C-alpha cells in the first residue's frame, strides 16, 4: 500500500541526480529561465490534487535543499521529509522510516525535470482575468514501486514578471504553486523521526528497494 501513497511524491517532487541549472542541450530558453527563477527563491509551497483522490501539499526550502510533503489517498496518509541526504517517511501514522538518497540528489519540479521538453504556448488569463505566460512540458514520471509513465503532458502557467510557476496541470494531477519566499515555509525534521528505521536506499531514478 505504501507505493500508492508515495505516488504523490513522484508527482510533486522528483528526486534525481542533477542540478537546478539549465543544461546547454535543453534547447528551450524558457525552461532554463523558469528553472533559474524557481532556484533563486528561498522557498515555496506546492499543492497537488489528483482525479483518483490523491491530495497533498509540499513545502520546499530551495536554498537549503529541504522538502516536506503531506499527502493522502483515500484513508491513507503520508508524511515525508527530504533533508540531510535522507528521505524520512511516516505512512498511516506508523513508525518512522528513512532511506538514503542518491549522492548529489536534488529536488526538481516534475514539469521542469531532466526529461522534460518545454514548448512555449500563448499567454493565458486565469478566472480572475490575470494574464500569465504559458508552456507545455512533456516528461517522464518515475512512480516508486510501479514504474515510469512516459510522455506525460503538463500545461503550465507562470508569472510573466517573476517567471515563477503558477499552475501545472495534467491528466494525473494539478499542481498549484504559491507562498514564494514566505518565512513561514520551514522544514524541520520531527524529533521522533530522528531514530527512524533504515530502509533500502533510493537509486538514481527515484525508486527504492523497499515497499
For the segment 135-172, what is each residue's pLDDT rounded down to a tens digit? 998 887 766 555 677 888 989 999 999 999 999 998 88
pLDDT value of residue 112: 77
Q: What is the mean pLDDT of the chain?
A: 78
Please write the tens of the pLDDT for every residue from 42-88: 999 999 888 878 788 888 888 888 889 898 888 888 898 988 888 89
Q: Which domains does the chain have, with CATH numbers?
A: 2-190 (2.50.20.10)
156's CB contacts (< 8 A; 6+ apart) are: 111, 134, 135, 136, 137, 165, 166, 167, 168, 169
Q: How far is residue 27's CA from residue 120's CA, in Å, rounded to a whole number?
A: 12
Q: What pLDDT is attached to residue 54?
A: 79
**Residue 111's pLDDT is what?**
74
Asked if residue 30 lies in contact with residue 120, where contact means CB atoms within 8 angstroms, the answer is yes
Q: What angle do CA 184, 14, 153 make, to 5 degrees?
A: 110
Q: Which helix (H) or strand (E) holds 45?
A: strand 44-49
- Quickly state the pLDDT bin for 16 (edges 50, 70, 90): very low
Averaged pLDDT for residues 94-114: 77
Tell me the HSE value of 95 on the side-chain side, using a 13 A CA sphere: 6
- Cα 169 → chain centroid: 13
What percent of the chain is modeled with pLDDT above 70? 75
Amino acid at each position: 500500500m505504501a507505493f500508492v501513497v508515495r505516488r504523490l511524491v513522484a508527482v510533486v517532487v522528483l528526486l534525481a541526480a542533477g542540478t537546478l541549472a539549465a543544461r546547454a542541450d535543453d534547447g528551450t530558453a524558457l525552461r532554463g529561465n523558469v528553472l533559474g527563477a524557481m532556484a533563486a527563491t528561498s522557498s515555496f509551497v506546492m499543492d497537488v490534487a489528483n482525479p483518483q483522490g490523491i491530495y497533498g501539499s509540499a513545502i520546499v526550502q530551495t536554498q537549503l535543499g529541504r522538502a516536506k510533503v503531506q499527502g493522502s489517498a483515500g484513508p491513507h496518509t503520508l508524511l515525508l521529509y527530504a533533508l540531510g541526504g535522507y528521505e524520512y517517511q511516516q505512512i498511516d501514522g506508523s513508525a518512522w522510516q528513512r532511506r538514503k538518497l542518491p549522492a548529489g540528489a536534488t529536488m526538481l519540479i516534475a514539469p521542469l525535470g531532466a526529461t522534460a521538453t518545454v514548448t512555449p504556448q500563448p499567454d493565458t488569463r486565469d478566472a480572475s482575468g490575470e494574464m500569465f505566460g504559458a508552456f507545455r512540458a512533456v516528461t517522464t514520471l518515475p512512480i516508486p514501486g510501479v514504474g515510469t509513465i512516459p510522455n506525460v503532458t503538463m500545461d503550465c502557467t507562470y508569472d510573466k514578471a517573476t517567471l515563477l510557476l503558477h499552475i501545472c496541470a495534467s491528466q494525473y494531477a494539478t499542481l498549484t504553486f504559491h507562498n514564494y519566499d514566505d518565512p513561514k515555509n520551514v522544514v524541520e525534521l520531527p524529533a521522533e523521526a530522528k531514530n527512524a528505521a533504515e530502509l533500502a536506499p533510493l537509486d538514481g531514478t527515484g525508486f527504492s528497494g523497499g515497499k
